[in-house]
Chain A
Amino acid sequence: MAAAPDFEVAKLTGEITVPKLREGAMAGIKSFKANEKMQEALGFPGELVEDWHDRAIGKMGELLKKYRSLQVFMDACVHCGACTDKCHYYLGTSDPKNMPVARQELMRQVYRRYFTFAGKYFPKLVGAKDLSKEILDDWYSYYYQCSECRRCSVYCPYGIDTAEITMAGREILDSVGIGQKYTNEILGKLHRIGNNLGLPGPAILDTLEGLEEDVLEDTGIPVKFPLDVEGAEVLLVTPSADFFSEPHVESLIGYAKVFHAAGISWTLSTKASEAGNFGMFIGSYENMRKAALRIREAALDLGVKRVVVGECGHAWRVAYSFWNTLTGVGAGAPEDDEFARKLQAQLDHSVPQPAHICEFTHDLLTRGVIKADKSKNDHRVITFHDSCNVSRGSRMGDTPGGQFTIPREVIMMVANNYQDMAPGTTHEATFCCGGGGGLLTDDLMQVRVKGAQPRMEAFKDVVDNNKVNFLALICAICKAQFTKVLPYYGYKMDMVGGVHQLVATAIELPGLGAGPVEADEAEAEAAADE
């Protein structure tokens, strides 16, 4: 941690309390805006357009027609207040505009004015307002203080999901020329180069070779990290942070060891070197689709039979819930759907498509194809943070709630000491890490630290009472966020790690020569190179 923060960090008590509201507490907080180049790379105007008012209202009308969610959610809220104490950003900042309903009202006040009878003729009565620059300003502040984690949608009696409204708000802002630097710059890199970090193919190859050397040195076993291998069984799509960041890379090593031990041929792809898809964050169907199509193309080019996704929360939501729609990576396309059929004909439908790496490893561990020595993790007392997008926007396995049981079972199959955090902070009630949805940027550090507070309270509870010393994660954003934020609350950043980091520690690797056929070929190649 660098210099002392210029904002107050709450002292943890181990309990989550609902604060009294403090109006305007976070009003001045804004992330940096995207420049012209970043905007135009995504097909948005470079700066605020002259006819911003009409264009914004036009865009809102278009989105209302394209998304039933937005239309219903604009109408259905009764201001019951059920969501008001559910958002981690409200709990951490006490700014009332961070209450889900108030965040929604920022858009609803405009919706009413232009699209409803009551708002057109009785604006004061129903709180309807003309769209103004001040309102756009408020939108920019507060739609970028929402991580689209969907916790509010669990508790709303009508299932109103603020994430949908935040996405629409961001899309309207983008369409008039107001974008966020962090998200839009990264999405531009993904379109241009293939991943969020902007790593070109040779840099990825170099990293992977380095990892092979490291693992060989550590274990004496030539675990491979294949890249762009045609005809591999599995295409692994993982967040690019896994190639470079700590502790992310430890999980990448875990995935590689799993493939090695199971003897299943696999490959990474330079074209699909990013599981993350910030197109979702800004609610842009077109940009999300464009980014996701890279995975389709890579799967077709390499001729893989399975697509597996690494540890990343929003990426898994996009992969699980949207890939089939966007790209055809999935199953069950009707016969006249040539676009999806082309890919689906190639995939192995005896396994889920796409599969989460935890589903993949869980299956291998359960069937005894791979084995683990749990005692290797005995120095750790582990707790698991349910990632918001995985918990409330996706599933693993065959039954609802598999996204909660499968990662926990993986942990318990590779480690002895496990402790859940308090009920009400796990499963579908989990709190976002505070850095999701496009907020993982240093210019929003105050939002991130305060938004992490509810999770930190639950964490403190198990650290104090159960001696927990490892926070297991399945999300690249969670990993980066907690690594940065834990020190603000007095914890060491090395308490943070991935579920497959735990797998990597405990997995039993077959020795030299005992490896599978697919691995042998790669080994022979490697030997020839030397």
Chain B
Amino acid sequence: MSTLSIVYVVLFYAATLLLIAGLARKILQYSRSPAPLKIPTTPAPTTTSGVAYRMAKEVVLFESLFKSSKWTWIFGWMFHFGMLLVLVRHLRYFVADVPVWLAAMQPFGKYAAFMMVAGLAGLWARRFLVDRVRYISTLSDHLMLALLMGIGISGALMTFVAHTDIIALKMFALGLVRLAPQPVPGDPVLLAHLAMVALLMIIFPISKLLHAPGVFFSPTRNQADNPRERRHLADWAAQLEK
């Protein structure tokens, strides 16, 4: 295999490892830190199933964001939902036999790239056009958008403009899955696309992308409103009663 192929194989194994280990570390940290007081933002559901429903609305529909800013909501939702469809479509490169449902969603997954890129463009525009959002934007906020935009555009280029050798790509992806590395295709657009994806995977657990696992652990959203009915006591707080 060429040096290039070896670099990409190592890069993807390393990125996968860092993503999984990094996320596992953060999720463990979140789940192990105590929440000593009941602080759901009320009105809040009083039962666990109610909390699950509230969380589902938050994660699927971005309910709170809808309440706050319609523009951010529409762009944010377009980007995230578009990216979800795109990601699901990409599963086809990691399985030898593509199941019917995955084949059926192929066109949706393809065109979702435009939704994703349009959403990103809208979000990025807000960082320039709205003075308050401009004030809070850091260099890394812009670079993050650039990276996602780069991934989206390079991907769409290969789907709609300059087709890459998709058979060779699938061989490469399957090779990674089967722990039997195959050469990476030499298409520069594809190489750029893959490098940016690997970079995204690497920075995921050490950046603000932690909002993805974070939302599930947010006490203002995941606590049931029942402090009068049940006594809620953290271990360190219980020590004070000894």
If A102-B135, A161-B41, A392-B41 touch, whether A79 touches B227 (CB-CB below 8 Å) is no
Complex Cα gap A66–B240 (Å): 14
Asked if B41 contacts A153 (CB within 8 A), the reply is yes
- CB of A158 within 8 A of CB of B140, answer no
Q: Is the CB of A68 within 8 A of B140?
A: no
Taking the closest CB of chain B, its distance from the CB of A316, in whole angstroms, is 11
Number of interface residues of B (CB under 8 A): 65
Please determine whether B136 and A324 come into contact, CB atoms closer than 8 angstroms: no
Is B5 close to A, CB under 8 A? no
Minimum CB–CB distance from A291 to chain B (whole Å) comes to: 14
Contact B132 A321 (CB under 8 A): no
Known: A67-B33, A322-B227. A158 touches B218 (CB 8 A): yes
Q: Does A337 sit at the interface, judged by CB under 8 A?
A: yes
**B170 on the A face (CB < 8 A):** no
Q: Is there a chain B Cβ closer than 8 Å to A45's Cβ?
A: no
B30 contact from A71, A126, A286, A339, Cβ within 8 A? A71
Query: Which residues from chain B contact A403 at a C-beta distance below 8 Å?
Result: 42-43
Say yes or no: is A12 at the interface (Cβ < 8 Å to chain B): no
| Interchain CA distance A78-B130 in the complex, whole Å | 16
- Interface assignment of A57: CB less than 8 Å from any CB of chain B: no
Interface residues on chain A, number (Cβ under 8 Å) = 79
A445 to B169, CA, bound (A): 66
Which of the candidate stretches B98-106, B149-157, B182-190, B207-215 sits at the interface with the other chain?
B207-215
Alpha-carbon separation in the docked complex, A73 to B109 (Å): 33
B16 at the interface (CB under 8 A from A): no
Nearest CB in chain B: distance from A16 CB, A: 14
Q: In the complex, what distance in Å separates the CA atom of A107 from the CA atom of B63?
A: 27
Stretch at the interface among A82-90, A412-420, A476-484, A492-500: A82-90
Return the CB mask of A72-84 against B: 1 if under 8 Å, else 0: 1101111111111
Verify if B206 is at the interface (C-beta below 8 Å from A): yes
- Cβ-based interface call for B34 (8 A): yes
Interface residues of B in 41-97 (CB under 8 A from A): 41-46, 58, 62, 64-65, 67-69, 72, 76
Residue in A127, A285, A400 whose CB lies within 8 Å of B44: A400
A83 lies within 8 A of B68 (CB): yes
B228 contacts the other chain (Cβ, under 8 Å)? yes
| A391 & B42 in contact (Cβ 8 Å cutoff) | yes
Q: Tell me if B64 and A154 are in contact (CB < 8 A).
A: yes
Select from chain A the residue with minimum beta-carbon distance to B33: A68
A441 at the interface (CB under 8 A from B): no
Bound together, the chains give a CA A321 to CA B230 distance in angstroms of 10
Choose, from A220-228, A328-336, A370-378, A462-470, the stretch at the interface.
A328-336
Q: A110 interface residue, CB < 8 Å from B? A: no
Say yes or no: is A170 at the interface (Cβ < 8 Å to chain B): no
The stretch among B7-15, B160-168, B192-200, B231-239 that forms the contact with chain A is: B231-239
**Complex contacts, B141 vs chain A, CB 8 Å:** 78-79
Q: Is B36 an interface residue (CB 8 A)?
A: yes
A72's contact among B41, B218, B237, by CB below 8 Å, is which? Answer: B218
Tell me if B38 is interfacial: C-beta within 8 Å of chain A: yes
Q: A66-B34, A321-B39, A324-B227 are in contact. Are A76 and B215 (CB under 8 A)?
A: yes
Q: What's the Cα separation between A23 and B134 when bound, in Å?
A: 13
- Fill in one digit per residue for A384-395: 1 if any B CB lies within 8 Å of its CB, else 0: 000000011111
User: If A127-B138, A325-B237, A339-B241 touch, does A400 touch B43 (CB 8 Å cutoff)?
Assistant: yes
Q: Is the CB of A20 within 8 A of B131?
A: yes
A102 near B214 with CB under 8 A, answer no
Is A401 part of the contact surface with B, judged by Cβ < 8 Å? yes
Residues of chain A within 8 A of B43, CB atoms compared: 395, 400-401, 403-404, 428
Q: When the two chains form their complex, are residues A322 and B37 in contact, meaning their CB atoms are under 8 A apart? A: yes
Contact in complex: A155, B67 (CB < 8 Å): yes
A117 CB contacts on chain B under 8 angstroms: 206
In the assembly, what is the distance between CA of A69 and CA of B229, in Å?
Answer: 22
| A410 within 8 A of partner (CB) | no
Taking the complex as formed, is B29 at the interface, i.e. its CB lies under 8 A from any CB of chain A? yes
A116 touches B (CB below 8 Å): yes
Q: Pick the most buried of A71, A101, A325, A339: most chain B CB atoms within 10 A of its CB.
A: A325
For the complex, is A150 an interface residue (Cβ under 8 Å from B)?
Answer: yes
* Residue of A86, A150, A154 with most partner-chain B CB within 10 A: A154
The reply to whether the CB of B175 lies closer than 8 angstroms to some CB of chain A is: no
Q: Please indicate the chain B residues that have their CB under 8 angstroms from the CB of A127 in the complex.
A: 138-140
Instruction: Check A395–B225 contact: CB distance below 8 A.
Output: yes
Residue from the list B36, B67, B210 in contact with A76, Cβ < 8 A: B210
- On whether the beta carbons of A68 and B30 are closer than 8 Å, the reply is yes
Q: Measured between C-beta atoms, what is the minimum distance from A18 to chain B in Å? A: 8
Contact, CB under 8 Å: B241 / A72:
no
> Among the listed B36, B39, B221, which residue makes an inter-chain contact with A66, where contact means beta carbons less than 8 Å apart?
B36
10 shortest interchain CB distances as A-B pairs: A76-B214, A155-B68, A400-B43, A159-B220, A81-B133, A82-B68, A84-B132, A68-B33, A159-B221, A159-B218
Show 5 A/B contacts (Cβ-Cβ < 8 Å), sorted by A. A79-B141, A81-B132, A150-B41, A400-B43, A400-B44
Q: Chain A interface (Cβ within 8 Å of chain B)? A: 18, 20-21, 23, 64-69, 71-73, 75-86, 96, 99, 101-102, 105, 116-118, 124-127, 150, 153-161, 164, 285-286, 289, 320-322, 324-325, 328, 330-334, 337, 339-340, 352-354, 391-395, 399-401, 403-404, 428
Extra contacts, 9 of them, besides A84-B133, A101-B136, A330-B228 (Cβ < 8 A), are A67-B36, A75-B26, A80-B133, A85-B132, A116-B206, A126-B140, A285-B36, A330-B231, A332-B231
